[in-house]
A and B are shown apart, each in its own frame.
Chain A
Amino acid sequence: MDARVTKERVIRDFDQYVDERIDDGVFRVNLDMFRDPDLFELEMEYIWEKTWVFVVHDSQIPENNDFITTQIGRTPVILQRGDDGQVRAFINHCTHRGPRLCKTQRGNAARHTCPYHGWMFDSNGKSMMVTDEETGGYSQAFKSMSHDLHQVARLESYRGFYWASLSDEVSSLKEYLGDVSFFLDAWIDQSPNELEWVKGDANFTYDGNWKMVFENCLDLYHAKTLHASFGNAVMNRFKNMGEDERKSINLDDFVNATAEVSYYNFDNGHGALWIQNQSQQEDRPSYAMYKEMEARVGADRAELMLSGKVAAIFPSILFVESATFQMRMIRPISVDKTEVYAFCLAPKGEPDDARALRIRQYEDFFSTSGLATPDDTAVYRSAQEGDQARTLEWNQGYHRGIEMIQRGPDEKAKQMGFSPTLSIHGSIAIQGEAMYIGPYREWLKKMKAGQDSALSNLSGDVHG
């Protein structure tokens, strides 16, 4: 809930932003979704501050008292492992006068002392000291207040991946993830010892709306045009330097389409895609552990583990495996500014040469110094500029594959035993875009529910 005192509410008809008429072959979202600053503030309040937002992976804060700082919507947050080993989420705000207690992105601290007046808190968030309390002439009312750090309302982990919610009114994390967790398992189970964080920050910003990077990760249509220069570089590498040079994904898969693809929507706005029969699987870092994986989890699941795939967990985190695996944490800053925090997570126990290949593929494709991501960010900016055309209401970019949507699971999902709400399956040449339906349905649902709740709080105030 937005704690601001203001009672002004402009009531919006959110149905106007999402035009979903699948049976008529139409799906589109209004350009205001990308350019209206007031709508951005409402998204923060009704979506980001009311649902599960990814905050940290276990391996990023392995030791007691390790912390990492992040943000949920507009709220600064500390994720800290206490001296009891338990991970907690606090609002990064001194209860006294408000400075952030942790000012660095990560660190280790048994206690936090506010630099302003010296109030002190332990790593479990408990108030240790109100400076000079005895001589302060404090009231009984003050003494009866808890001075502890404010805990974030909910924090739950799915197999080492932590999500937090500023609102208590959310389902369990397991329920929120639903069957998209099948994809998460495919990354986690690559090693019997699960995943570890590979150190090194390669974070970036772009001058565009946060939904652009969310859309982009489910978009195969742009691969052979926008990333042509990546494809060229990789091809020339073998020509100029020989077959042993740095391997990467084969963008030919997007041109000479022998590969197939399944796209999925899941409840709560999550999307996924899975590329099947991809060539050059042996060039993927996880191939080094393939035999072990296959013996442990069976051929079908091992095949999924090795495949190109994406899981976009609405609204905050993208699990993307194109060349190799990257997690992208989205931090919306304003309607036209977004921060992306990128993580490399790798199977524990991976052989050294496979790990080195993973790192090179990661930097090569994903890094903002790489050969692909800077082209993505350049077009986000460009689209943000183009979308300022105020006489225009709609783009046409959500129609590819719309005729191929089937309700419920495709054959692949049935075979693997998970239950998407919508599926598209076929040749990779579909390069579908219609699967943004799920995320935008959820957007609409959250915006309406958020507004209803805000209005009912408001009328409660008036009458109560």
Chain B
Amino acid sequence: MDKGQLQQEATELLYREGLTLDRQQWDDWLALWTDDCELWIPAWITEHEQITDPQREISLLYLSGKNYLKERTDRVLKGMSPASVPMPRTCHSVSNILIDAYTSDSMTVQSVFRVDYYHHKKVYGFFGHYTHQLVQQAGGWKIHKKQVTLMNDFISEVLDVYLI
């Protein structure tokens, strides 16, 4: 497979991830992930230094296994958590997509993101870099790992999977 083709497929997956979150199509979003997936937002220690070991240091978010992602979407669906009632309206933008490394059935993809969201009559946003590790599974690409370098880490009340 040539790199241009991979670039196109990675781009489509990243766009689709944002779109399913923005449309609150939770099952479709979950279907993009492998069962043994990991979603990790390392915390910052200083201005330009982040933690490196989620087992020894604090992460902004460290979810290991798709069930932990589903825990988050179920929480939204149940409507029992005031943090997501009403749900903010979100808009994911992903760009600067680069394939870092690839084999026939895996690739590491760098990108930048901005998530604008509207909550309590105000516009908020998160921005930073994504590193996605994608793998081929059952004839399609899935997200095996997503690491988020969140630039604006002084969190206004809530940070959750649908805001990054």
Contacts and interface: CB of A to CB of B under 8 A. Distances in A.
Contact of B83 (A240, A352, A374): A374
Contact of B158 (A229, A359, A377): A377
A382 interface: yes
Contacts of B44: 200-201
A200 B43 contact: yes
B60 A202 contact: yes
Interface string B55-70: 1111111100101000
B82 interface: yes
B42 to A, nearest CB: 8
Contact of B60 (A106, A369, A374, A382): A369
Nearest to B160: A369
A203 B154 CA distance: 6
A216 interface: no
A106 B46 contact: yes
A201 B45 contact: yes
A6 interface: no
Contacts of A355: 55-56
A32 B51 CA distance: 42
B157 A368 contact: yes
A371 B59 CA distance: 14
Contacts of A198: 56-58
B67 A362 contact: no
B155 interface: yes
Interface string A184-204: 000000000000001111111
Interface string B28-72: 000000000000011111110001001111111110010100010
A201 B78 contact: no
Contacts of A375: 81-83
A111 B71 CA distance: 49
B55 A200 contact: no
Interface in A347-379: 352, 355-356, 359-360, 362-363, 367-369, 371, 374-375, 377-379
A381 interface: yes
Contact of B58 (A106, A202, A232, A374): A202
Contact of A229 (B45, B56, B57, B75): B75
A374 B157 contact: yes
A22 interface: no
Interface residues of B, number: 36
Given A105-B46, A241-B65, A363-B58, A368 B158 contact: yes
B158 A237 contact: no
B80 interface: yes
Q: Chain A: interface residue count, which band?
A: 35 or more
Given A105-B46, A229-B75, A369-B41, A200 B59 contact: yes
B3 interface: no
Nearest to B45: A199
Given A233-B75, A355-B55, A201 B153 contact: yes
A205 interface: yes
A226 interface: yes
A80 to B, nearest CB: 15
Contact of B45 (A200, A203, A377, A381): A200
A236 B160 contact: no
Given A200-B59, A202-B43, A378-B83, A241 B155 contact: no
A47 interface: no
A266 B58 CA distance: 32
A362 B76 CA distance: 21
Interface string A285-305: 000000000000000000000
Nearest to B51: A200
Contacts of B158: 368-369, 374, 377-378
A200 B157 CA distance: 18
A202 B71 contact: no
A232 B80 contact: yes
Contacts of A118: none
A381 B45 CA distance: 28
Contacts of B78: 229, 232
B82 A369 contact: no
B156 A204 contact: yes
Contacts of B80: 228-229, 232
A379 to B, nearest CB: 6
Given A202-B43, A228-B80, A240-B67, A359 B159 contact: no
A200 B57 contact: yes
Given A106-B46, A237-B71, A204 B157 contact: yes
A381 B155 contact: no
A207 interface: yes
A247 to B, nearest CB: 14
Contacts of A228: 80
A136 B130 CA distance: 53
A59 to B, nearest CB: 13
A208 B110 CA distance: 38
Interface string B82-103: 1100000000000000000000
B82 A379 contact: yes
A352 B82 CA distance: 35
**Nearest 6 Cβ contacts at the A-B interface:** A200-B58, A200-B43, A374-B83, A374-B158, A369-B159, A378-B82
10 contacts: A104-B46, A199-B58, A201-B153, A205-B155, A229-B75, A237-B67, A368-B157, A374-B81, A374-B83, A374-B160
Interface of B: 41-47, 51, 54-62, 65, 67, 71, 74-75, 78, 80-83, 120, 153-160
Given A201-B43, A374-B157, 12 more contacts: A199-B45, A199-B57, A200-B43, A203-B155, A229-B75, A236-B74, A344-B58, A367-B58, A371-B81, A374-B158, A381-B157, A382-B82
